[in-house]
Structure 1
Amino acid sequence: MTFIPKRSSRLVLSVFSLIGLGLLLSAWVEKPAPTPPNVVLFFMDDMGYGDLSVTGALDYTTPNLDRMAAEGSRFSNFLAAQAVCSASRAALLTGCYPNRLGISGAFGPNSPTGLNPNEETLAELLKERGYATGIFGKWHLGDKKQFLPLQQGFDEYYGVPYSHDMWPLHPAQAQAKYPPLHWIEGNEPKQEIKDLDDAGLITSTVTDHALAFIRKHKSKPFFLYIPHPLPHVPLATSAKFKGKSARGIFGDVMTELDGAVGQVLAELKQQGLDKNTLVIFISDNGPWLNYGDHAGSAGGFREGKGTSFEGGHRVPCLVRWPGVVPAGRVSNKLLTTMDILPTVAKICGARLPKQHIDGVDWVALLKGDNTVTPRDHFYYYYRKNSLEAVRQGDWKLVFAHPGRTYEGFLPGQNGKPGPSTETHEFPTGLFDLRRDPSERYDVREQHPEIVAKLEKLAEEARADLGDDIQKRTGANVREAGRVSQ
């Protein structure tokens, strides 16, 4: 046996202790903190539930979106917060019913109204968390400088300020005397979109800026918002995609949009960001059906854009995040665009807005827990502030109201709209969306207890948000942004 003097033994123990401490410190230093995921949010314009080949589209295919659905999850019961442009976009970025924000309809050029800068957007919350934030595409929340994206939490913006049918050359808007439509970079107008050839470059221009943003910010977390202006009319596509589908110009546009999504997904993989990026694909509302062959498909749901029936609200929702979001899953749980903000905020470690929001967090469902039901009910508001329907679970009570209908009218052709009416009188009806997703069979007489339950829920909405149909003012409605007089 080797004898080690006491002093030497202490020295040996000290050396081993230091080595052990060094190894522990080394292991602690070498283990990096989790990197918050990047977020890419596609928001299409007037794309209906049935406009992807995975949801039944015919005469063209959307292979990139179909692959996104296969590699991620598809949420088949996903609703736009309101079936019209500006209101829907306000809800997405704030997590609120748009009428809570004082916003309705679609803002025109030079509107004195926009999203109130006091509202906190998803971009502001993520920017506070250290994210780079960019938007490329259609804004439509006010075109005055104080309402533009750079004043609403975005670092970069290149896009159009409102719908590209609000321009002098649109055949259905000839009498509107709209001003010229320009691309906006940051806060400044750039080149004019003069004709359909220029409009045919919209999708590729938006995509090019989105790809550049990914490359520029690949070393830090980013939030990339891509609200594509198409397939809203007027339809236009680049030369590369003209005549590529059997569906005509609408199919060509959808083919190009699908390719644009594929380019973004490929760039994420190229930059090594694929597995740490949450990608969400949704639409702002259903199809503008009276444009006929230039309109999309509601996938069998009733009516379309501008209505409180499912065809106006039900939109595609695909979510992809490899290793986190289950692949190949279809969920039928009720969700809305308002639920994007609290969900993304939680995933990215951001706080929620200081003022009340209406969105709910569905992170557990997103990650695969199908036992949870994040959202219990939904209010269908339209026009200025009319409560036209209320839903709880699979039961939907539609209240008597005047509104838009496309039914009974011959749809338009070649870019010109067919007739429709905004004053059709819809009767009250109770619909069981499990068996009757097209909302054709009123079952109020069979289920008076369900009617009573939904009426009580509607009264809560009217007290909170108001109801123009009943001339009620809500207690918790905030003001939209307004240009100073």
Structure 2
Amino acid sequence: MLRLALILTVLLTLVATELSAAKPNIIVIMADDLGFGDVSCYGATALSTPHIDRLATEGLRFTSGYCSASTCTPTRYSFLTGTYAFRGERTGIAPPNAPAIIKPGTETVASILKRAGYTTAVIGKWHLGLGNANGPDWNGQLKPGPLEIGFDTCFLLPTTNDRVPQVYVKDHRVLNLDPADPLWVGSKKPNADHPTGLTHRESLKMDWSHGHNSTIHNGISRIGYYTGGHASRFRDEDLADKWVEKSVEFIEQNQDHPFFLFFASHDIHVPRMPHERFQGKTRLGFRGDSIIQLDWCVGELMKTLDRLQLSENTLVVFCSDNGPVLDDGYKDGAIEKIGTHRAAGPYSGGKYSVYEGGTRTPFITRWKGHIKPGVSDQMVSTIDLPASLAALADQKISSESCRDSFNILEALLGKADSPGRTELVQQNNGNNGTYALRAGDWKLHRYDKKTARNVVVEQQLENTIVPQFQLFHLEDDPAEQTDVAAEYPEVTERLKQRLNQIITSKGSRPELQTVDQ
């Protein structure tokens, strides 16, 4: 009997080990406004990012890793839902009082993994709206939100930190809100004496350059207005520490069963106000200091996995929601101190544009003992994570869900000869008719508006008139400097038709190509 018991124990241990290996923990670290050339493993020399570099050394570094849009809200929408944001409603950059953009019950990467037995959490920047059609009830229950689309828990910056309010949201409530000091958020000045970046500019510790000149909090003026909620307000300098603190708590609490953590950093989005211990640590100003703060966050998560002996049973994905921008509304020295640093690496454009610099970003996967370290030139995108992680968790997705998410799991894991994407639609923001289609080495730009378009001059965006369609050959012209549409009319026409087909179709996921086409 003792021998039988020992055999059963060994067998159960083997089965448990096999199941554990089949269902690794998953952490997606999404940086904010981080460019292809902003970290040292992608060529940056003006600063060092040793923890992100370690991820790349121990995992797979992609040279054609993409987000699906060059602004935050549409990329986050597409990452969670596996559907291009131009198919949705209100998917442009969300205002402070935006209601929930992803409707309750929508299949998301979180709901898929929850169905597979994962405990799920999002910690960090949300910026996908909260509440019903009337918008957030800041003094009541903030629902629907993440918990209605598959997350078990959340700890959020509800919008983005250049927009009001500067409070944390824990699950359905503003954290530490005093009922005697209710929180009000609006788009109009609440009274004539309300301090703003216009009326009290001399009091600011970080001046604004454009736009961000409404309500002042912590010496920084923001987009939008709010009053009250003083006990619940946070300090900008403490954001990164709070994300790490809550993420470590979540990992520790769920170390004995599969978990999915979406770590949604606010670095390096404006206002760039890193903790004092990082300020002045680079020669690039607060923008560079925020990059090394982001790197520290990555290091703390990796240190936690090592301490809990979870590194070999955790798939880590590192990415960014869009490419870089220098002056995004504040005078923080980003332009003056840029020097020879190329935030987008060899690519043109950045945030707000469909040039490569807007959507081609750092993209790294690490699963120790399962992913062979190296470099991959396969095309992968954050929009593919729902279908790919569904495959990893052995979950099926319906034809109504994740309509543009490809199962490229084997490419993400670095399996030999496993292809990534062959084509990808890129957009700038919401549903405004600015698109690009990368197909192999060809890249087609499409600008539907008959107004000025964004082009790139000295790493910043300027407005000029360009043709509605432009064609570039990325292998010969990675910086997209030479429009060859007139030289290759057949390629241009083929990609125009294909882009239109994708935009007007139900979805581009391969399984849907025979449905309603």
Question: What TM-score, normalized by structure 1, do the two folds share?
Answer: 0.82
Match of 2:483 in 1: 442
Q: Which amino acid aligns with 1:453?
A: R
1:385 and 1:465 mapped to 2: Cα distance?
19
Give 1:151 deviation, angstroms. 1.9
SS of the residue corresponding to residue 240 of structure 1 reads coil
Aligned pair 1:32/2:15, yes or no? yes
Q: Which amino acid aligns with 1:278?
A: L
Cα 1:23/1:233, change in 2 over 3 Å:
closer
Correspondence 1:37-52 to 2 at 5 A: 37-52=24-39
Aligned pair 1:461/2:502, yes or no? yes
Give 1:422 deviation, angstroms. 5.7
1:190 and 1:319 mapped to 2: Cα distance?
39
SS of the residue corresponding to residue 294 of structure 1 reads coil
Give 1:205 deviation, angstroms. 0.8
Match of 2:354 in 1: 308
Aligned pair 1:156/2:195, yes or no? no
8 Å Cα contact 1:82/1:88 also seen in 2: yes
Equivalent of 1:344 in 378, 386, 389? 389
CA deviation profile, 1:32-58 (whole Å, cap 9, x unmatched): 232110001101111111110111223
Alignment identity in percent? 30
1:221 and 1:436 mapped to 2: Cα distance?
44
2:28 and 2:119 mapped to 1: Cα distance?
14
1:278 and 1:164 mapped to 2: Cα distance?
29
Q: Which amino acid aligns with 2:385?
A: I
Give 1:97 deviation, angstroms. 0.5
Give the paired residue count: 433
Q: Which amino acid aligns with 1:458?
A: L
Equivalent of 1:210 in 213, 228, 247? 247
Aligned pair 1:105/2:105, yes or no? no
8 Å Cα contact 2:348/2:456 also seen in 1: no
Cα 1:409/1:243, change in 2 over 3 Å:
closer
1:338 and 1:449 mapped to 2: Cα distance?
29
CA deviation profile, 1:422-443 (whole Å, cap 9, x unmatched): 6643452211111111111122
Aligned pair 1:221/2:258, yes or no? yes
Match of 1:398 in 2: 445
Equivalent of 1:260 in 297, 306, 315? 297
Correspondence 1:187-202 to 2 at 5 A: 191-193=232-234, 198-202=235-239
8 Å Cα contact 1:379/1:387 also seen in 2: no
Match of 1:378 in 2: 424
Cα 1:396/1:256, change in 2 over 3 Å:
same
1:131 and 1:139 mapped to 2: Cα distance?
20
2:265 and 2:312 mapped to 1: Cα distance?
24
Aligned pair 1:128/2:121, yes or no? no
Cα 1:21/1:64, change in 2 over 3 Å:
closer
Cα 1:272/1:455, change in 2 over 3 Å:
same
Aligned pair 1:79/2:66, yes or no? yes
8 Å Cα contact 1:180/1:192 also seen in 2: no
2:34 and 2:228 mapped to 1: Cα distance?
23
Aligned pair 1:58/2:48, yes or no? no
Q: Which amino acid aligns with 2:375?
A: V
Match of 2:334 in 1: 294
8 Å Cα contact 2:59/2:368 also seen in 1: yes
Cα 1:108/1:335, change in 2 over 3 Å:
same
1:276 and 1:409 mapped to 2: Cα distance?
43
SS of the residue corresponding to residue 261 of structure 2 reads strand
SS of the residue corresponding to residue 206 of structure 1 reads helix
8 Å Cα contact 2:31/2:294 also seen in 1: no
Q: Which amino acid aligns with 1:311?
A: G
SS of the residue corresponding to residue 252 of structure 1 reads helix
RMSD: 2.8
Give 1:217 deviation, angstroms. 0.8
Cα 1:297/1:148, change in 2 over 3 Å:
same
Aligned pair 1:274/2:311, yes or no? yes
Q: Which amino acid aligns with 2:52?
A: L
8 Å Cα contact 1:99/1:465 also seen in 2: no
Gaps of at least 5 residues in structure 2 are: 132-141, 165-195, 198-206, 215-221, 336-341, 508-514
8 Å Cα contact 2:60/2:414 also seen in 1: no
8 Å Cα contact 2:376/2:414 also seen in 1: no
Cα 1:345/1:316, change in 2 over 3 Å:
same
1:340 and 1:30 mapped to 2: Cα distance?
30
8 Å Cα contact 1:83/1:313 also seen in 2: yes
Give 1:406 deviation, angstroms. 5.7
Q: Which amino acid aligns with 2:327?
A: N
1:115 and 1:24 mapped to 2: Cα distance?
49
Match of 2:203 in 1: none
Gaps of at least 5 residues in structure 1 are: 1-17, 184-188, 412-419, 467-474, 477-485
Cα 1:190/1:347, change in 2 over 3 Å:
farther
SS of the residue corresponding to residue 319 of structure 2 reads strand
Cα 1:348/1:30, change in 2 over 3 Å:
same
Question: What TM-score, normalized by structure 2, do the two folds share?
Answer: 0.77
8 Å Cα contact 2:100/2:145 also seen in 1: no
CA deviation profile, 1:253-300 (whole Å, cap 9, x unmatched): 111110110010010010011100000000000112334843781112
2:8 and 2:320 mapped to 1: Cα distance?
49
Aligned pair 1:174/2:157, yes or no? no
CA deviation profile, 1:122-149 (whole Å, cap 9, x unmatched): 1111112111111110011113223421
SS of the residue corresponding to residue 385 of structure 2 reads helix
Cα 1:249/1:24, change in 2 over 3 Å:
closer
Q: Which has the larger radius of gyration?
A: 1
Equivalent of 1:452 in 493, 500, 512? 493
1:26 and 1:115 mapped to 2: Cα distance?
45
Match of 1:388 in 2: 435
8 Å Cα contact 1:290/1:406 also seen in 2: no
Give 1:400 deviation, angstroms. 4.4
2:295 and 2:117 mapped to 1: Cα distance?
30
2:453 and 2:226 mapped to 1: Cα distance?
29
Question: Quick check: 139-148 or 364-373, which moved more?
Answer: 364-373
Cα 1:406/1:376, change in 2 over 3 Å:
closer
Give 1:378 deviation, angstroms. 1.5
8 Å Cα contact 2:64/2:377 also seen in 1: yes
